[in-house]
Amino acid sequence: MQLLGIDVGGTGIKGAIVETSTGVPASERIRIKTPTPATPEAIGITLKDLVERHRWSGPVGIGFPAAIQHGIARTAANIDDSFIGLPVAEYFSSQTGCPAYVANDADVAGLAEMRFGAGKNSAGVVLIVTIGTGLGTALFSNGHLLPNTELGHLFLDNGQEAEKYASEAVRVSEELEWKAWGKRFNRYLTTMEKLLWPDLIILGGGVSKKLHKFAPWITTQAPIVPAMLLNQAGIVGAALFAEEQRRQLSLD
């Protein structure tokens, strides 16, 4: 099945038609700058533009930077606070003219990584951490997603919020060397391990390509591997989420 997957980020909104049986994009990947301010109306207009550029009229899967509960945004990260409480799936369906299925951005990236990437065929508990402006998380148990974990907002034993202490944005803004940042990130991962005891930890985001630079300071018992889909994960996972929701509707 081919579906349009869209990844809404704080700086860019990206989309492509995806062949869900393989996870391979079946069209050009189009990126549009995220509007400022990132209000519902402004993002809705951008999503409609993406749909029209792809000449698409079918279901759309959307990875969104918020906790999404039954289609409603409960938080807002790097987007306007007016999204909180908004039925975003219903709203984006109206704005685009297409059935829209919306889930947390880290969750959909995790779906893609578990189906086609580093988590493929992994049993047990898998923790996926996307390292960027913040720390996004997706948690799976025997392939099943626990949605909206938002574990980047956990407070560590030093009293600091994890993503304000150990994100890629913090590493860059504070000009931390890999050793110093690696120790900070390890503090976060070992905290996660004590709480969740994952069998595998997958790291996503651009910094995951540089795992060798901070791996010497990671002390988790669980093996650490880099994500494989990288910047395609959100788009692919959004399409997979839409497919899953369509299939569930057909069964109900």
**Residue 27, domain member (yes or no):** yes
Each of the 252 residues of the chain gets a pLDDT tens digit; together they read: 999 999 998 889 999 999 999 999 999 999 999 999 999 999 999 999 999 999 999 999 999 999 999 999 999 988 999 999 999 999 999 999 999 999 999 999 999 999 999 999 999 999 999 998 889 999 999 999 999 999 999 999 999 999 999 999 999 999 999 999 999 999 999 999 999 999 999 999 889 999 999 999 999 999 999 999 988 999 999 999 999 999 888 776
- How many domains would you assign to the chain? 2
Q: Are residues 78 and 8 in the same domain?
A: yes
pLDDT of residue 194: 97
pLDDT of residue 111: 97
Q: Are residues 31 and 80 in the same domain?
A: yes
**Residue 114, domain member (yes or no):** no
Q: Are residues 90 and 13 in the same domain?
A: yes
Structural domain including 137 reads 121-227
**Residue 44, domain member (yes or no):** yes
Q: Are residues 236 and 220 in the same domain?
A: no
Q: Are residues 86 and 129 in the same domain?
A: no
**Residue 186, domain member (yes or no):** yes
**Residue 115, domain member (yes or no):** no
Q: Are residues 217 and 127 in the same domain?
A: yes
Q: Are residues 33 and 128 in the same domain?
A: no
CATH of the domain at 13: 3.30.420.40
Q: Are residues 75 and 97 in the same domain?
A: yes
Q: Are residues 135 and 100 in the same domain?
A: no
pLDDT of residue 252: 63
Q: Are residues 161 and 221 in the same domain?
A: yes
SS3 string, the chain, reads: CEEEEEEECCCEEEEEEEECCCCEECCCCEEEECCCCCCHHHHHHHHHHHHHHCCCCCCEEEEECCCEECCEECCCCCCCHHHCCCCHHHHHHHHHCCCEEEEEHHHHHHHHHHHHCCCCCCCCEEEEEEECCCEEEEEEECCEEECCCCHHHCECCCCCECHHHHCHHHHHHCCCCHHHHHHHHHHHHHHHHHHHCCCEEEEECHHHHHHHHHHHHCCCCCCEEECCCHHHHHHHHHHHHHHHHHHHHHHC
pLDDT of residue 47: 98
Q: Are residues 13 and 82 in the same domain?
A: yes
Q: Are residues 125 and 98 in the same domain?
A: no
**Residue 113, domain member (yes or no):** no
**Residue 112, domain member (yes or no):** no
